[in-house]
């Protein structure tokens, strides 16, 4: 398959995942994007937005007001119209928020007795949709969505129904006739944005646990988006991207957990953040090699990493080949790291600091200092509250 065809597929699936990002909060599903019949136009839009194959594993909602809203936002008219339709149903506006990394604007509405929430979304590409939502004391939830069902596995505890292009009044009417009204968990207006962030994190933890979308789900998503001639190579690219993203996220969270357990000050964390690495058994071969050498060829860099005359390039290539072979033969990630580190001749420069048990069992190492590293005490605070979740070995 040519590079352009592969890139096309990854951008489609990437944009598909971009569309799910916030919707994962309320149930696992993908939005049917409607950017016209010219597929390349869709891909170009995604490329301009930096479309990724894997969504962020965490979200941060930022409250905004009317002065922060651009007059020429794509989809603004449809967004305003949908919000007006919601208000006509006697739902009260709670607030307007932006998720900058996900390129989303969100309006939250509520109707009490019984508590029913409507979340209206506007993506920067112009797509507008809504969810009708209710959560319960047993941490389950019901969600009715104004999009079609693409067949992605849903988080346990989520009951979801799909109304492709359904009028919001019809969706609300259906929701009110079916969703249980007992044991509702009431969420205060000022806490609902944080509730969304927490539910999103729980759903993404579940996705991390299972390793991302399955091969069958990726093919179903591609069919839903009317992508033709999907090859095993294309599917493997998507799976590999998820594996790498999950590996890196777990490493980042393990380092944060270590900092928390050691009661490190912000200054100590900032001084060491580029040197402390977490090594665990779900790391990809490229991530293991990168932890030792500072970088490694990954799927996106293969074309640029072909300087066989450079000794360092040869060493890193050889390390990647060895790490890949060991991982495929069943050797644990932590043991692979130790063997590749020994081969590198740099083991005396690495210091084992300790271990953590969550979110995954990991060894915490301190890499040798880079002379070019400088500490900037004006960096923003990275010590956010660490999520309390654990990934099975």
Max Cα separation, the chain? 71
Question: Which residue from 276, 41, 20, 273 is spatially nearest to 149, judged by alpha carbons?
Answer: 20
Q: Is 80 exceeded by the pLDDT of residue 349?
A: yes
Q: Is 80 exceeded by the pLDDT of residue 368?
A: yes
pLDDT band at 223 (very low <50, low <70, confident <90, very high): confident
pLDDT at 190: 94
What proportion of the chain, given as a percentage, has pLDDT over 70?
74
Min mean pLDDT across 187-191, 220-224, 373-377 is at 373-377
- b/e map of 52-68 (b: 16 or more CB within 10 Å)? bbbbbbebebeeeeeee
Most confident among 44-58, 80-94, 146-160 (mean pLDDT): 80-94
pLDDT at 71: 58
Q: Mean pLDDT, the chain, as a whole number?
A: 78
pLDDT at 341: 95
Rounded Cα distance, 355 and 262, in Å: 11
Cα dist. 245→214, 287, 298 in Å? Answer: 15, 10, 12
- Report which secondary-structure segment, H or E, holds 233: helix 232-261
Q: Where would I find the beta strands (DSSP E) of 228-361? A: 276-280, 351-356
Average pLDDT on 200-210 reads 86
Tell me the pLDDT tens digit for each residue of 140-171.
899 898 887 766 777 788 888 888 888 999 99
Question: Which residue from 320, 321, 264, 252 is spatially nearest to 292, judged by alpha carbons?
Answer: 320
Q: Is 70 exceeded by the pLDDT of residue 378?
A: no
Tokens 């990954």 belong to residue: 298
Average pLDDT on 49-63 reads 74
pLDDT band at 194 (very low <50, low <70, confident <90, very high): very high
Rounded Cα distance, 49 and 101, in Å: 10
Tokens 């890499």 belong to residue: 367
Cα dist. 228→125, 166, 222 in Å? Answer: 23, 27, 8
pLDDT at 377: 42
What residue spans define the domains of the chain? 3-224, 232-366
pLDDT at 56: 84
244 SS3 class? helix
14 SS3 class? helix
Min mean pLDDT across 180-184, 189-193, 203-207, 365-369 is at 203-207
Q: Is 60 exceeded by the pLDDT of residue 73?
A: yes
pLDDT at 7: 52
Rounded Cα distance, 274 and 264, in Å: 15
Rounded Cα distance, 72 and 124, in Å: 11
Q: Cis omega (within 30 of 0) on the bond before 114?
A: yes
pLDDT at 339: 95
pLDDT at 326: 96
Q: Is 50 exceeded by the pLDDT of residue 302?
A: no
Question: What global pTM score does this model have?
Answer: 0.75
pLDDT at 277: 92
Within a 10 A sphere around the Cβ of 11, how many other Cβ atoms?
22
């Amino acid at each position: 398959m040519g590079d352009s065809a592969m890139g096309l597929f990854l951008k489609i699936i990437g944009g598909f995942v971009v569309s799910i990002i916030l919707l994962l909060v309320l149930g696992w599903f993908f939005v049917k994007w409607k950017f016209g019949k010219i597929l390349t136009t869709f891909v170009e839009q995604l490329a301009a937005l930096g479309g990724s194959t894997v969504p962020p594993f965490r979200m941060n909602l930022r409250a905004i007001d009317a002065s922060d809203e651009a007059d020429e936002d794509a989809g603004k008219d449809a967004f305003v119209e949908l919000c007006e339709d919601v208000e006509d149903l006697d739902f009260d506006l709670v607030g307007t928020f932006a998720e900058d990394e996900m390129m989303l604007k969100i309006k939250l509405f509520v109707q009490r007795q019984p508590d029913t929430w409507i979340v209206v979304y506007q993506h920067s590409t112009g797509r507008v949709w809504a969810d009708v939502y209710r959560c319960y004391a047993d941490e389950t939830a019901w969600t009715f969505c104004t999009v079609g069902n693409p067949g992605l596995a849903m988080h346990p505890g989520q009951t979801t129904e799909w109304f492709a292009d359904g009028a919001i009044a019809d969706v609300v009417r259906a929701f009110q006739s079916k969703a249980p009204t007992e044991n509702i968990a009431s969420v205060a207006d000022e806490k609902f944005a944080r509730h969304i962030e927490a539910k999103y994190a729980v759903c993404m933890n579940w996705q991390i646990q299972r390793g991302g979308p399955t091969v069958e789900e990726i093919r179903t998503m591609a069919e839903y988006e009317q992508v033709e001639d999907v090859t095993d190579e294309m599917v493997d690219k998507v799976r590999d991207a998820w594996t790498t993203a999950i590996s890196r996220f777990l490493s980042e969270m393990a380092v944060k957990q270590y900092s928390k357990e050691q009661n490190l000050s912000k200054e100590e964390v900032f001084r060491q953040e580029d040197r402390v690495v977490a090594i665990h058994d779900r790391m990809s071969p490229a991530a293991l090699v990168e932890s030792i050498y500072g970088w490694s060829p990954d799927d996106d860099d293969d074309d640029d990493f072909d300087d066989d005359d450079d000794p360092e390039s040869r060493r890193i290539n050889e390390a990647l080949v060895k790490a890949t072979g060991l991982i495929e033969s069943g050797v644990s990630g932590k043991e692979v790291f130790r063997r590749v580190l020994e081969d590198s001749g740099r083991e005396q420069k690495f210091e084992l600091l300790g271990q953590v048990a969550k979110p995954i069992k990991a060894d915490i190492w301190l890499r040798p200092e880079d002379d070019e590293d400088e500490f900037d005490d004006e960096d923003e605070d990275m010590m956010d509250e660490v999520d309390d979740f654990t990934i099975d070995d």
